[in-house]
Structure 1
Amino acid sequence: MRGGRITAPRTRSTGVIAAICAGMLALASCASGNDAVVQGGTFDFVSPGGQTEIFYDPPAERGTVGKLSGPDLMEEGETVGLEDFEGQVVVLNVWGQWCGPCRSEADDLEEVYQASKDRGVAFLGINVRDNFQDKAQDFVVDNGITFPSIYDPPMRTLMAFGAGYPTSVVPTTIVLDREHRVAAVFLKELLAEDLQPVVDRIAAEDTQDR
């Protein structure tokens, strides 16, 4: 397994530093929640040289994330998780309404979702560190976000990405292939032009490459 990096033009000044919105959280503290379901996978997070755009290829060498589900942010009493998107490419986005870069990239994520959903691409948000659910719900409504999110204030679902995953970086976007193996990780705010070609490439992967 190897990581690589591509560069894409950016028009926003927030950059990587602005993407790190919060201090370190110990993974053990994330495990204290009991409202999200997580089981281990085979994914081993690797960030060569501290890169913020990481790609895992070839497909056969990708690791899977753990089973991941939790309360639906917008639908009381409902749950949502990876099992709802079997056979689909899934774009996971870790976000919080308190995070400036999350606000900046919200419209870009929705743009890519709308452009890709008819090709078997799903988006699933993971809302973290928002202790007031109504504020997170207002964020979704105000930004016109139409894909679902797990409501996970204690960040317990992030355990599905393994012990080496940097829980301090918000927003983070993780692209899973159709077998829910990790194909790409972005540890920064995204523009549509950053994400769309990656989603297109992974959605177009031939089944023989799996």
Structure 2
Amino acid sequence: MSLSRAPRRTRRTLVAVGMLSAAALTLSACGGDSNGKSGGGGNTNFVTNTGGISTVAKGERAATGKLAGETLDGKQLDVAGLKGKVVVLNVWGSWCGPCRAEAPHFAKVAADLEGQGVEFVGLNTRDPNKQPALAFEEDYGVPYPSLYDPQGKLILFGFPKGTLNPQAIPSTVVLDKEGRIAARSLMALDEKKLRSMIEPLLKEK
């Protein structure tokens, strides 16, 4: 059967599969972590421990590119304006099972650390409209904003090559108080692992 003669639902499915295949070339959806001992190769200066969390020494960190735009609730947000605080950037999608698994932990830690020099920002991606993402935030009591990035442009261009950039969904990147990329995880996190990425940066002078 030709595509032109296929039932409408089948055509939509084929188109959707094609779009997802193209997206997978740039960002692995709901990917796991390789648990490798070192990261990236080339001139990268980060190390991945056995827990799958990569870190960069204080003197070797790079700044992000521009991470700014409209949030799911229609406001404008620029991550650069959060300098002076530790910033937790969480890449997620409402359709992603591991994202749902980690969401309660993120909501709890964000609430626990409110007013303690930590800001959480979500990067919502691959949701073609906002409604499922807004429902996700309501379901899990997410207390922080998320930039709406359905095509993944912020994710692809907001992190310089050779840095700890998001490479999977979910991914979590933590910025130090100077706005530099300090730690990354490419897997769903529980409360303990999430705190282990944040607390050392809070202690830095």
Provide the TM-score with structure 1 as the length reference.
0.72
> Which runs of structure 2 are paired with 1:106-145 in the superposition (5 Å)?
106-145=103-142
Unaligned runs of 5+ in 1: 1-20, 28-43
Residue equivalent to 1:56: 56
> Which runs of structure 2 are paired with 1:75-86 in the superposition (5 Å)?
76=74, 78-86=75-83
- Say if 1:94 and 1:172, in contact at 8 Å, map to a contact too: yes
**Residues 112-134 of structure 1: CA deviation (Å, up to 9, x unaligned):** 11222221100000000000211
Q: Does 1:194 align with 2:178?
A: no
* Amino acid paired to 1:61: E
Q: How far apart, in 2, do the equivalents of 1:125 and 1:63 lie?
A: 20
1:169 to partner: Cα distance: 0.7
Moved more, 175-184 or 193-202: 193-202
1:50 to partner: Cα distance: 10
**Residues 154-194 of structure 1: CA deviation (Å, up to 9, x unaligned):** 10001111245665510000010000111100010000011
- Say if 2:96 and 2:169, in contact at 8 Å, map to a contact too: yes
Q: How far apart, in 2, do the equivalents of 1:54 and 1:163 lie?
A: 15
- Say if 2:91 and 2:123, in contact at 8 Å, map to a contact too: yes
Residue equivalent to 2:176: 177
> Which runs of structure 2 are paired with 1:14-53 in the superposition (5 Å)?
24-26=24-26, 52-53=52-53
Which of the numbers 74, 89, 92 marks the counterpart of 2:86?
Answer: 89
1:79 to partner: Cα distance: 1.1
Provide the TM-score with structure 2 as the length reference.
0.74
Which of the numbers 138, 159, 162 marks the counterpart of 1:161?
Answer: 159
Which of the numbers 117, 133, 146 marks the counterpart of 1:149?
Answer: 146
- Say if 1:70 and 1:151, in contact at 8 Å, map to a contact too: yes
* Amino acid paired to 1:192: E
The RMSD of aligned alpha carbons is 2.5
- Say if 1:25 and 1:168, in contact at 8 Å, map to a contact too: no
Q: How far apart, in 1, do the equivalents of 2:189 and 2:48 lie?
A: 20
Residue equivalent to 1:98: 95
Residue equivalent to 2:203: 204
Q: How far apart, in 1, do the equivalents of 2:47 and 2:56 lie?
A: 11
Larger relative contact order (CA 8 Å, sep ≥ 6) = 1
* Amino acid paired to 1:111: K
Count how many residue pairs are aligned between Structure 1 and Structure 2: 167
Please state whether the residue corresponding to 2:88 is helix, strand or coil: strand
Residue equivalent to 1:13: none
Q: Highest Rg: 1 or 2?
A: 2
| Identity value in percent | 35
1:84 to partner: Cα distance: 3.1
- Say if 1:73 and 1:149, in contact at 8 Å, map to a contact too: yes
Q: How far apart, in 2, do the equivalents of 1:89 and 1:49 lie?
A: 20
Q: How far apart, in 2, do the equivalents of 1:73 and 1:99 lie?
A: 17
C-alpha spacing 1:124/1:142, structure 2 compared with 1 (3 Å): same
